[in-house]
């Protein structure tokens, strides 16, 4: 890929990934602020701001914002994560100026009208209720709170009913003024685009972004003295479980080993947990592993949805597989399949202009540079079978196990007795 990066005089970074063979271009405005930058009293304010910039600017109503992009056959969206917020749009490359103008207008001059704040507060409460109605989502939030109790990483990105009620218009205006500053703003474009043209357009539209210190966050606290368990009783058809272990940060070279460990254990239908839990024993429809990384911490996660009666057997089998890979490295053929899967999925993903834009923004905010995918491949290829066992032995420790469950739960002591890694 031809990645080019420029820094404007005001501190804004502009980066492009040229894909001249594509018809589309995806443009994103990234801000290095998210849920873990928030005080507890304003939990959810980053996500609230993300919603509010769509509600109107000095030049456009909410309807005109969506019409300006959808009316040219484009797509407009946004998301908030623990450390970043991103506003992005995709359209035909000949509408690049149109989508950048809309995004810049939303970023620079949102109205934050008092009436819209009140309406959107109700909308976000409905979003919160929707997530709580989805036990597979709810259990992941409970797991985060269990992994990182009483700290920002463990809080809901959506906020709580109490924090949402406490957020006022003046909080939103002041929070955006202090956190949305030039040095933590990145404009990323991928697709059929020319770097010089992108830079010139950004200079014209975003020169007014103020300077200031980059937002800071509270360091993660990972200490455990034994398994942590959160049980949420609820009459659901399935019991949903999630277990997690603290892992490395996004800058650690161990992340490549953990990625392959996750692929071997549970990222596809060929994985050990899928084959054992679903195919061999028929205990669950859904079982998978995943990894998450932050600036100073991370987690390795196993999750599943199953019949309550199968909880004991499923947990024993899951924990048995974690113990097995810690004791014995995978075969060379299994490792080869995992590497080919990880590399193949990355290559397929990067064929998309949207995913290329995500790659650029996430890397610049997370690493300060854009990693060449070929460098990633080389580091994946360097991982050995013994590396995976060594990582599993260090990672899968009962004292560092966090566990969350949503459903018609068993007695707490019963669950505690099951959390043993052989």
> For residue 126, what are the β-bridge partners?
none
The C-alpha atoms of residue 335 and residue 268 are separated, in whole angstroms, by 14
Is 80 exceeded by the pLDDT of residue 420? yes
Single out the catalytic residue among 38, 50, 83, 141: 50
Q: What is the DSSP letter of 276?
A: I
Average pLDDT rounded to a whole number, residues 57-76: 98
Chain mean pLDDT for the chain: 96
Radius of gyration of the chain (CA): 23
Residue of 66, 104, 294, 314 lying closest to 209 (CA atoms): 104
Average pLDDT rounded to a whole number, residues 181-206: 97
Residue burial 377-398, b: 16+ Cβ < 10 Å; e: rest = beebeebebebbbebbeebbee
Query: pLDDT band at residue 367, thresholds of 50, 70 and 90?
Result: very high
Query: pLDDT band at residue 1, thresholds of 50, 70 and 90?
Result: confident
Cα dihedral sign, 29-193-77-358: negative
Helix%, strand%, coil% for the chain, nearest 5: 50, 20, 30
HSE-CB for 404 with a 13 A CA cutoff: 24
Is 80 exceeded by the pLDDT of residue 184? yes
Helical residues (DSSP H) of 133-253, grouped into ranges: 135-147, 161-166, 169-179, 195-205
Is 90 exceeded by the pLDDT of residue 58? yes
Q: pTM value?
A: 0.96
Query: What are 59's two structure tokens?
Result: 């030049």
Q: What is the DSSP letter of 274?
A: I
Query: What are 9's two structure tokens?
Result: 């005089």
Between helix 311-327 and helix 254-266 the angle, nearest 10°, is 130
Q: What is the pLDDT of residue 287?
A: 97
220-263, pLDDT tens digit by residue? 998 777 789 999 998 888 999 999 999 999 999 999 999 999 99
Query: What are 411's two structure tokens?
Result: 């007695």
136-167, pLDDT tens digit by residue? 999 999 999 999 999 999 999 999 999 999 99
Angle 312-314-315 from CA coordinates, rounded to 5°: 65
Residues 6 or more apart from 365 whose CB is under 8 A from it? 30, 32, 83, 84, 184, 186
Residue of 40, 2, 31, 36 lying closest to 19 (CA atoms): 2
- Domains within the chain, CATH numbers bracketed: 2-205 (3.30.830.10), 228-329+384-418 (3.30.830.10)
Element (H, E) at 254: helix 254-266
Q: Is 50 an active-site residue?
A: yes
Query: What are 234's two structure tokens?
Result: 């609820």
Q: What is the pLDDT of residue 410?
A: 67
Residue of 249, 244, 85 lying closest to 149 (CA atoms): 244
Is 70 exceeded by the pLDDT of residue 370? yes
3-state secondary structure at position 374: helix
Residues 6 or more apart from 362 whose CB is under 8 A from it? 84
Residue of 159, 181, 215, 174 lying closest to 42 (CA atoms): 159
């Amino acid at each position: 890929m031809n990645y080019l990066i420029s820094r404007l005089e005001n501190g804004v970074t502009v980066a492009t990934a040229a894909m001249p063979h594509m018809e589309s271009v995806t443009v994103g405005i990234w801000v290095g602020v998210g849920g873990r930058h928030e005080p507890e009293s304003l939990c959810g304010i980053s996500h609230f701001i993300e919603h509010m910039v769509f509600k109107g600017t000095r030049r456009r109503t909410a309807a005109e914002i969506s019409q300006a992009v959808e009316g040219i056959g484009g797509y407009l969206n946004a998301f908030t994560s623990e450390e970043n917020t991103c506003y992005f749009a995709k359209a035909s490359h000949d509408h690049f100026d149109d989508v950048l103008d809309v995004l810049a207008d939303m970023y620079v001059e949102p109205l934050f009208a008092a009436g819209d704040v009140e309406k959107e507060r109700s909308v976000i409460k409905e979003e919160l209720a929707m997530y709580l109605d989805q036990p597979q989502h709810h259990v992941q939030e409970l797991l985060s709170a269990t992994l990182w109790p009483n700290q920002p990483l463990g809080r809901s990105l959506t906020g709580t009913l109490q924090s949402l009620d406490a957020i006022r218009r003046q909080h939103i205006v002041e929070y955006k003024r202090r956190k949305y500053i030039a040095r933590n703003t990145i404009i990323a474009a991928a697709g059929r685009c020319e770097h010089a043209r992108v830079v010139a357009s950004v200079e014209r539209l975003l020169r007014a972004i103020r300077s200031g210190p980059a937002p800071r966050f509270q360091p993660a606290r990972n200490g455990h003295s034994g398994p942590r368990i959160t049980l949420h009783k609820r009459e659901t058809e399935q019991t949903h479980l999630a277990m997690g272990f603290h892992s490395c940060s996004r800058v650690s070279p161990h992340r490549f080993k953990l990625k392959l460990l996750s692929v071997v254990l549970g990222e596809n239908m060929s994985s050990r947990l899928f084959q054992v839990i679903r195919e061999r024993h028929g205990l669950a429809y859904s079982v998978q592993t995943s990894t998450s990384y932050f600036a100073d911490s991370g987690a390795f996660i196993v999750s599943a949805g199953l019949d309550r009666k199968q909880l004991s057997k499923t947990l024993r089998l899951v924990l048995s597989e974690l113990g097995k890979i810690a004791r014995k490295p995978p075969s060379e053929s299994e490792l080869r399949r995992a590497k080919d899967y990880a590399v193949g999925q990355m290559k397929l993903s990067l064929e998309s202009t949207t995913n290329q834009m995500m790659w650029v923004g996430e890397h610049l905010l997370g690493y300060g540079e854009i990693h060449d995918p070929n460098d990633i491949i080389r580091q994946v290829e360097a991982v050995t079978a013994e590396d995976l066992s060594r990582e599993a032995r260090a990672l899968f420790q009962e004292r560092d196990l966090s566990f969350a469950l949503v459903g018609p739960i068993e007695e707490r002591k019963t669950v505690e007795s099951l959390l043993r890694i052989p």
